[in-house]
Structure 1
Amino acid sequence: MPKSSLLSTSELERSSVVANNTMNRERGLAGVNSYARELGFDPLSRLAARPHAPSWLDLCSGEGHALREAASTLPDDAALTGIDLVGPLVRLPAPPTLTEVVASVSTWAPTRTYDLITCVHGLHYVGDQLGLLARAASWLAPDGLLAAHFDPESIRWADGSAAGRATVSALRSAGFRYSARHHRLTLEGGREVTLPFHYLGADPAAGPNYTGQPAVGSHYADARFSTIAGA
C-alpha cells in the first residue's frame, strides 16, 4: 500500500472498522468471556494482593464491566481508570473509585502511574500501536504489569511488507515478553521505552486478523535509516 493511501489517526478513528468495533465491549472479570480468560490471570486477585491502594488502567475499556466489577470489591482508595474512544454505550453512574474517560488512547495521557495496565484486543484498532506501547510502559508503577493483545502480522513497513519479526525483536530488547500462542505482550516494571520505528499511518482495510475480525494495519519506517523529515 502506498504511503499516500494510509490514514492519519483522526481519519482512522472515524473509519468504520474502528468506530463500529465491538471486540471488547461486554467482557467481565471472570468466566467464559472475561479478562481473566483473555489475559491468562485474574486482574482482581493481582490488584487485591497489592500492599497499597491498587490502581488499574484499562485501555479500550468498552462498557467497562470488568472495571465496575473490580470497583465493587476493591477498597475505597483504589484508583481504576477506563479509556475508550466511544465510552460506555449505556451511561451509568460510576463508582467513586472508577474514572471513565471518553478519549483516543493515541493522544490521552494519565497524570499518575498504575499497578496494572491492560489492553484486551484493543491494539487491533489503534494506528500507532508501537507508540502506544512505548508510552504505556512509562505509565507503569516500578513493579507494575502491562498486558495487551498484539498481532505482529499487523505491523508493516512502508511498502506493505511484513515487519512483525523485527517488531517482536525490538519489543523483547526493550523488556517486553511476547507469547505467540496467546498473542499477548507483557511488561513488568515501568520504564522509558524507545522503539526504532517511525509511524507512517494506518490501513483500515487490512482485513481480518487472528481473531477473525477486521483489524487495522500499522505502517512504519525503520527509524534508524529513515530520511523522513522529523523522523
Structure 2
Amino acid sequence: MRADTPSPAGGRAELAADRVAGLVRSAEPGARLGTKNELRALCGVSVSTFNEALRLLQARGLVSVRPGPGGGLFAAEQSPMVRLGNSMLSLNADRTSVAEAIRIRDALDPLLIEDALWHASPADVADMRAILEEMGVAADAADATAFTRANWRLHARIAAVSPHVLLRALYANLLDLIEGHTLRVLPDGVRPLPPYLRERHRLHTDLVDALARHDRDAAMHLIHDHKTGEPSS
C-alpha cells in the first residue's frame, strides 16, 4: 500500500501514467503501446494532462517515444531492481524522484565496479560475502523486501571501496533516497518470485567472486546482466 497520494492538480496525470504503466508491465520491452493520441483517448484525458503523464512515465524510465510513421510510445527496458521479479516498489514519496535516482544509480554501478576491482581488500570481500548470505536467506524465504534491502547494502558496501569521495557520496545519497522512501516490494504474481530471487542472488555472488579475483571481463559482463536482466554477449 502506497502512502503517497497525488494532489488534485496532478491527480489526473498520475492516474493516466498509472494506466499506461499497467500496459508496460504486461508488454515485452520494446513493444509498441500505441500512438500518443490512442493512449490519450484510452486514458480519457486532455492533451496537456497526457503530456504531463508522459513526462512522468519517461522520468520513471517506463516508456520511450519514437516519432514518424510507426512511431508512438514503446515499453522501455527497466532495471530489475525497479521491477524485482516483475514487482513494484511501494513508495511513500514522489515516485518520479525515486525512479530517477534508481536510473542514475544504475548508470554509476560500472564506475564503482571498476574501482572495486582494483581496490577491494580481502576484508572488503568478506563483508560483501556476509551480506550475500543475508540475501540468500531472504531468497529462500521469498522475502522480496528483505532481499532488496540486503541488495542495497551490498551495493553500498561495494561503493564504499571506491577511493573517489564524490562518487561514493553521490551513490550513497541515491541509495538513501531510494531506500528511505521504499516501504516494501510488492510481487504482482506474474513471475514466480523464489526462483527469480535465487537467480539474482547467484548473479551477485558471481559478481563478488569476480571482484575477489580481479576479473574485469567477468565483472563487467555481470554488471551488464544486473542492469538489463539479460546475459551480455
Instruction: State the TM-score, normalizing by the size of structure 1.
Output: 0.30
Q: Decide which structure has greater strand share.
A: 1
Q: Highest CA radius of gyration, 1 or 2?
A: 2
- If asked which structure has higher relative contact order (CA below 8 Å, sep 6+), I would say 2
Q: Decide which structure has greater helix share.
A: 2
